[in-house]
Amino acid sequence: MPLAKIFNQSKIFAIEPTNYAFKKLTKNLNLNKELKKNISLNQLFLSKINKPTKVWSSWNFDNNNNKHKQHLGTLHSIKKKSYITLTKFIDLKKIKKIDFIKLDVDGHELDVLRSGEKFLKNKKPIIFIEIAPYLYPEFGYTCSELIAYIKKLKYSFYNDDLKKITNIDNYINKITFGGSENFYLIKNYKT
């Protein structure tokens, strides 16, 4: 919603897979009616391969025992039959141009990126992504594999200050265990 306020002439496609988050998003949008014309709500799970029935989300401060042992998210159900690739979503919505993608998918980064590979290789929208190296082994891959895939897509890494990171592997290795960091992925202009 903050992006819709700033970019009030743009169309925002908000995607939330869990019933919990989608209900919360819908409630928030109903409280901000002036933004409704700019935001398209979609209860979907972007994926090429994975089809979990629950994902970790909802970081709150209660004493719930069902929290993830490291990041403290709680499991929430995904709407049935809501799985779609990024490429198919773009085609289905007849989206002609995407300038920016905010990717916060708590361990599913590699699968989401793979689900839109052809589009991302060709169009190169700016991507804002949270990278959490400790999390990926739980999902069957490593942070090194994610970094290599992003490089394969011909993106460069920038920090929050939009300073280009020349050695992303060293930079990632400095993230403390259990930590994460946000990056901008911007078209690599060398290619």
CATH at residue 11: 3.40.50.150
Q: Measured between alpha carbons, how far is 144 from 133 in angstroms, rounded to an integer? A: 8
101: nearest Cα among 18, 17, 183: 183
Summarised one tens digit per residue, pLDDT across range 85-113 is: 999 999 999 999 999 999 989 899 999 99
Q: Which structural domain, as residue segments, surrounds residue 178? A: 2-187
- How many folded domains does the chain comprise? 1
Residue 22's alpha-carbon distances to 13, 17, 72, 147, in angstroms, are 13, 7, 20, 29
Residue 88's alpha-carbon distances to 16, 46, 95, in angstroms, are 16, 9, 10
End-to-end CA distance of the chain: 34
DSSP state of 189: T
Mean pLDDT of the 19-41 span: 93
Q: What is the pLDDT of residue 60?
A: 62
Reported as a pLDDT band with limits 50, 70 and 90, residue 39 is very high
Report the sign of the C-alpha dihedral through residues 30, 32, 35, 37, in that order: positive
